[in-house]
Amino acid sequence: MTGSRRAPGSAGLAGLLVVLLGTLAPFAVPASAVAADFPKGWEGYHTYAEMATEVAAVAAAHPDIVQRFSIGKTYQGRNMWAVKISDNVGVDENEPEVLFDGLTHSDEHMGLEMTLRIMHWLVDGYVSHDARITNIVNTREIWIVLAVNPDGAEADIAGGHFHFWRKNRQPTPGTTAIGTDLNRNFGYRWGIAEGRTSKNPLAITYMGPKAFSAPETRNMRDFLASRVVNGRQQIRTAITFHESGRLVMWPYGYTYANIPLDMTVDDHNALVIIGRHMAATNGYRPEQASDLYLTSGTTRDYEYGTYRIFSYTFEMSVKDYPDDSLIASETGRNKEAVLYLIERASCPLAVLGAAVRTARCGAFDDDLEVSRGWVVNADHTDTGSGATWQRGDPAPTTYAGVRMQPDTVPSGRSAFITGLAAGTSSSANDVDGGRTSVTSPTIDLPATAGQKLQFRWTFAHDARATSADELRVEVLDAGNGNAATSVLVVPGTPVVRSAGWRTTSIDLSAWAGKTIRVRFSATDAGVNGVVEAGFDDVRVTQPQ
Ligand SMILES: [Zn+2]
């Protein structure tokens, strides 16, 4: 819910300022309100107590597929209730995961009705043997954080009328102001006070004194971090439910750029296709978040920027405070979109077609844009004294007029590079005195022949190189003491070899059904010359 949507079009700048500074104190909100119920005409909405009771009842009635837990306490000490829904719900199975949350802005009560409705769709559909929902529950792990800002929601309905209360209830130190806009407080690109994001503690879009200053956003951050297993974020798709405007919005909100450096072309294309598909099912308008207005520190930007979760913001309803007669229709219109996004979680990029699906929906896919569990010097056997593998954006270097460290990477912004920095000479921040290695997390290969390990690589050196210098790629058999098989060795030769991205594809049929790791090593073993290596876009393809 936003000030401008509430303000009449004729209000002008003065009216907008009044609304944006609406937390100055025009509404007397008790510091710790316990709401009896919503105002008349809205009683169909759930208070915090009603929500807590309902979630507990559903979990108690369906312990085989529903697990209730709290992701932590709010500023005022309320539990932030959440559920996990899946078959074998007590086991962390290797299934794609999905996250839904609602009521981050506490005057957007339809968001809680939406998360409750999703819980009921999944439970009721499973109980009644609905084939599609049974398949979803059996093959996914679905997390629902019912209400991110229950303190604010209780304050918003205190005294039996609405208070237009959007933020949490945390005082801002050093001021008399109450509340941080939780959807401006997440720690990705936090602090860009442009568009609808404010540094003013009195503003309804106040970002907070620092990222994750609010207990509610810290709890969300810590919950998301808890879903990193084996170095990899398990949650693949997400929706955060807001109100109003009937919009489906994809990242980013912090910039007008469609594909900034912290997004890949493939991700953008898939985000748009999935977003437009969902919008076609619920009648919303699909757009990039910044098409509405610039925002920074949002849930959606954090989830995508940090973890590459395909995360969407839904703005529900066509007006603020829709009465409870609209709950069924406004939540119901999102059923197909919700189920569709859950189904996409196994590999969102599959919507880009058969070729991309084969390449990127296999047992492993890492564009190296975010941390996904690679470990430098995993065995503590590296001998190098110079630069080690680093993931990031390389600074270009040249030697004798020849490019040694590349300026660009094959996808997005980041690759693994031996020393990202350029340094003061071309041989600074390169491999010296031996080997540096980096090892992937474990990869469970299906027992099917025809899978391929594919990756992009670059290897450059000066004319002092010998065959003792090399780039080496090995497949490690994790079930056999990490027994190593070299699948690519590029030895040095006594000429200047320039950087350049090449592609290699290795048949993995010998490892079908096994658990493997992949190790990249770069070695400067002779005279300490210039040795620069890199790799990107490591994949195990589907069988082909
Ligand atoms: Zn909102």
Residues 280 and 375 in one domain: no
Task: Give the pLDDT means over successive 10-residue stretches in the chain (544 positions).
Answer: 41 38 43 70 97 98 98 98 98 97 98 98 98 98 98 96 97 97 98 94 98 98 97 98 98 97 97 98 98 97 98 96 98 98 98 97 98 96 92 93 93 94 79 93 96 97 93 97 97 95 98 98 87 96 93
Ligand 1 mean position to 167 CA, how many Å? 10
Burial 211-236 (b: 16+ CB within 10 A, else e): bbbbbbbbbbbebbeebeeeebbbbb
Instruction: State which residues have CB under 5 angstroms from ligand 1, the bound ion.
Output: 105, 108, 242
For ligand 1, the distance from its centroid to the CA atom of residue 98, given in whole angstroms, is 20
Q: Do 166 and 181 contact (CB within 8 A), yes or no?
A: yes
Do residues 415 and 528 share a domain? Answer: yes
Angle formed at CA 118 by CA 266 and CA 338, multiple of 5 degrees: 25
User: Which residues touch 50 (CB under 8 Å, ≥6 apart)?
Assistant: none
pLDDT at 228: 97
Residue 2 has a pLDDT of 55
Evaluate whether residue 358 is within a structural domain: no
Inside any domain, residue 41: yes
**pLDDT value, residue 19:** 40
pLDDT of residue 103: 98
Expressed in angstroms and rounded, the spacing between residue 114 Cα and the centre of ligand 1 is 13
Determine, yes or no, domain membership for 359: no
Q: Say yes or no: 26 and 102 in one domain.
A: yes
- The sign one gets for the Cα dihedral 424, 261, 102, 350 is negative
- 3-class DSSP state of 486: strand
- In the reported structure, the alpha carbon of residue 340 is separated from the centroid of ligand 1 by a whole-number distance in angstroms of 23
Q: For residues 274 and 389, state if they share a domain.
A: no
Q: Range of 436's domain?
A: 364-540
Pairwise CA distance, residues 346 & 172, whole Å: 41
Residue where a domain stops, chosen among 285, 319, 352: 352
Domain annotation covers residue 357: no
Q: Of 323, 352, 381, which residue constitutes the final position of a domain?
A: 352
Boundary residue ending a domain (321, 352, 383):
352
CB 465 within 8 A of CB 423: no
- Confirm whether 268 is domain-assigned: yes
Distance CA(106)–CA(85), nearest Å, equals: 25
43 a catalytic residue: no
The alpha carbon of 2 and the centre of ligand 1 are apart by a number of angstroms equal to 7
pLDDT at 35: 53
Which CATH number is 473's domain given?
2.60.120.200
- Residue 422 in any domain: the answer is yes
The predicted structure's pLDDT at residue 386 = 87
Decide if 220 contacts 185 (C-beta within 8 A).
no
Residue 235 C-alpha to ligand 1 middle, in angstroms?
Answer: 22
The DSSP result for 347-397, as a single string, is -GGGGG-HHHHHHHSSSEEE-SSS--S-EETTTS----SS--EEEE-PPPE
Residue 192 Cα to ligand 1 midpoint, Å, equals 18
User: Quick one: 73 and 133 in the same domain?
Assistant: yes
Annotated catalytic residue, options 315, 330, 470, 532? 315
Q: Which residues face 397 on adjacent strands?
A: 405
How many Å lie between the centroid of ligand 1 and the Cα of residue 195? Answer: 15
313 alpha carbon – ligand 1 mean position (Å): 9
How far is the centre of ligand 1, averaged over its atoms, from the C-alpha of 205 (Å)?
10
Task: Mark whether 270 and 401 lie in a shared domain.
Answer: no
Distance 56 CA to ligand 1 centre (A): 26
The CA 242 to ligand 1 mean position distance, Å, reads: 4
How far is the centre of ligand 1, averaged over its atoms, from the C-alpha of 45 (Å)? 17
Q: How far is the CA of 542 from the centre of ligand 1 (A)?
A: 40
Task: Indicate which CATH number applies to the domain containing 241.
Answer: 3.40.630.10
Q: Are 207 and 121 contained in the same domain?
A: yes
Same-domain status, 276 and 415: no
* Each residue's pLDDT tens digit, 425-444: 777 888 888 999 999 999 99
Distance of CA 156 to the CA centre of its chain: 29
Classify residue 369: in a domain, yes or no. Answer: yes
Number of domains in the chain: 2
In this prediction, residue 297 carries a pLDDT of 98
| Complete DSSP assignment for 428-469 | TTS--SEEEEEEPPPEE--S-TT-EEEEEEEEEE-TT--TTS
Residue 181 domain flag: yes
Mode of pairing for the β-strands spanning 235-243 and 97-102:
parallel
**What's the rounded Cα separation, in Å, for the pair 525 and 460?**
14
| Residue 383 and residue 336 share a domain | no
**522 within 8 A of 418, measured Cβ to Cβ:** yes
Q: 3-class secondary structure for 270-309?
A: HHHHHHHHHHHHHCCEEEEHHHCCCCCCCHHHHHHHHHCC
Q: How far is the CA of 199 from the centre of ligand 1 (A)?
A: 18
Residues 347 and 376 in one domain: no
- 160/241 same-domain check: yes
Q: Could you give phi then psi for residue 152, rounded to 5 degrees? A: -65, -35
pLDDT of res. 7: 33
Distance in Å, CA 268 to ligand 1 centroid? 23
Residue 15, pLDDT score: 36
Q: Tell me, yes or no, whether 337 and 422 share the same domain.
A: no
Rounded to the nearest angstrom, the distance between the alpha carbon of 527 and the centre of ligand 1 is 60
